[in-house]
């Protein structure tokens, strides 16, 4: 009986018509825009000199030194570039995580961090997500200069006098 069922099953499946498929084409299109800039050589690796500062300037938590300007030059910029967001990443201070932590060492300063400011001298928190960064308008096909500032800020008092070193990496996100 089982053999008969297998034979009938085989007979019916061989008589079933084959499914036919027609060839289909999917068109894929897009456009590659020239919407980026190159970081100019002078802006790739540089040092911002925060000068010599007296420990007595840091009389309270939040006390700062005068801001020191620095700039990032973007050149050449593409013909379709419209804006950029710039984020700074690095090791955050343990007390105020929006500041860069100072490098440790036997002759290192302590009790402060480095604050990075935008062109309007508003704080740019270290390691901020891209969604919180503001866009800076760029001029397409031109050299664009982005102005920033850095300064020291007390995170505890008293501060320890010494050498000040910190490292940040900047990442441009072009629009």
In a domain, 15, yes or no: no
Q: Which two tokens stand for residue 21?
A: 């498929």
In a domain, 7, yes or no: no
In a domain, 37, yes or no: yes
What pLDDT is stored for residue 25 in this prediction?
80
Q: pTM, whole model, 2 decimals?
A: 0.81
Q: How many angstroms separate the CA atoms of 146 and 130, rounded?
A: 17
In a domain, 4, yes or no: no
pLDDT along the chain (175 residues), means of 10: 51 56 79 83 94 96 98 94 95 98 96 97 96 94 96 97 96 92
In a domain, 137, yes or no: yes
Q: How many domains does the chain have?
A: 1
Contact 172, 89 (CB under 8 A): no
Contact 128, 173 (CB under 8 A): no
What pLDDT is stored for residue 96 in this prediction?
98
Q: What's the CATH number where 160 sits?
A: 2.60.40.1090
Residues 6+ positions from 9 with CB-CB distance below 8 Å: none
In a domain, 115, yes or no: yes
In a domain, 12, yes or no: no
Instruction: Quote the radius of gyration of the chain (alpha carbons, Å).
Output: 30
User: Where in the sequence is the domain holding 67, given as residue range(s)?
Assistant: 32-174
In a domain, 13, yes or no: no
């Amino acid at each position: 009986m089982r053999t008969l069922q297998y034979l009938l099953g085989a007979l019916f499946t061989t008589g079933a018509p084959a499914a036919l498929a027609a060839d289909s084409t999917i068109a894929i299109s897009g456009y590659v825009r020239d919407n980026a800039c190159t970081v100019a050589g002078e802006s790739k690796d540089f040092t911002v000199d925060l000068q010599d500062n007296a420990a007595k300037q840091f009389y309270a938590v939040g006390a700062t030194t005068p801001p020191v300007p620095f700039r990032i030059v973007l050149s050449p910029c593409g013909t379709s570039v419209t804006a950029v967001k710039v984020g700074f990443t690095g090791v955050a201070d343990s007390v105020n995580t929006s500041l860069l932590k100072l490098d440790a060492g036997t002759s290192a300063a302590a009790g402060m961090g480095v604050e990075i400011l935008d062109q309007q001298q508003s704080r740019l928190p270290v390691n901020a997500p891209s969604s919180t960064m503001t866009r800076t308008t760029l001029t397409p096909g031109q050299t664009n200069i982005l102005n920033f500032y850095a300064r020291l800020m007390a995170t505890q008092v008293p501060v320890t006098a010494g050498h000040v070193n910190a490292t940040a990496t900047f990442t441009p996100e072009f629009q």
